[in-house]
Amino acid sequence: NAGVTQTPKFRILKIGQSMTLQCTQDMNHNYMYWYRQDPGMGLKLIYYSVGAGITDKGEVPNGYNVSRSTTEDFPLRLELAAPSQTSVYFCASSYLQGLGEQYFGPGTRLTVT
């Protein structure tokens, strides 16, 4: 199993551009999450999903959108990128019997200039 994969690993955007961060897991996990990590800080929840077709906002959802059309994929869309969205983005997944453990992808480092 590849686990949780994220693409791209790095990206530089100009202010106002848009992009989609891809996240895929091959473990058949129902639950998926997007977090962002600002320099010197812990991770904060952007959006999460409890299954295909179901998503919900987290602590910092403004400027982002998500969709969950399949169990495997949970893309994060940035519209009209702003410098405040410069961060490292982590996708994670978990399963019902997993006793809370979340499996993290390697992260995407995004810089908006």
Partner 1 sequence: AQTVTQSQPEMSVQEAETVTLSCTYDTSESNYYLFWYKQPPSRQMILVIRQEAYKQQNATENRFSVNFQKAAKSFSLKISDSQLGDTAMYFCAFMRGSGNTPLVFGKGTRLSVIA
Contacts to partner 1 by CB under 8 A: 30-31, 33, 35, 40-45, 48, 50, 58, 88, 90, 92, 94-96, 98-102, 104, 106-107, 109
Cβ distance to partner 1 smaller for residue 58 or 75:
58
CA distance 6 to 113: 22
Q: How far is the CB of 100 from partner 1 (least distance, A)?
A: 4
CA distance 49 to 56: 6
For residue 89, give both structure tokens. Answer: 């983005």
Cβ distance to partner 1 smaller for residue 19 or 44:
44
Cβ distance to partner 1 smaller for residue 3 or 16:
3
Name 63's Cβ contacts closer than 8 Å, sequence gap at least 6. Answer: 78, 79, 80, 82, 84, 85
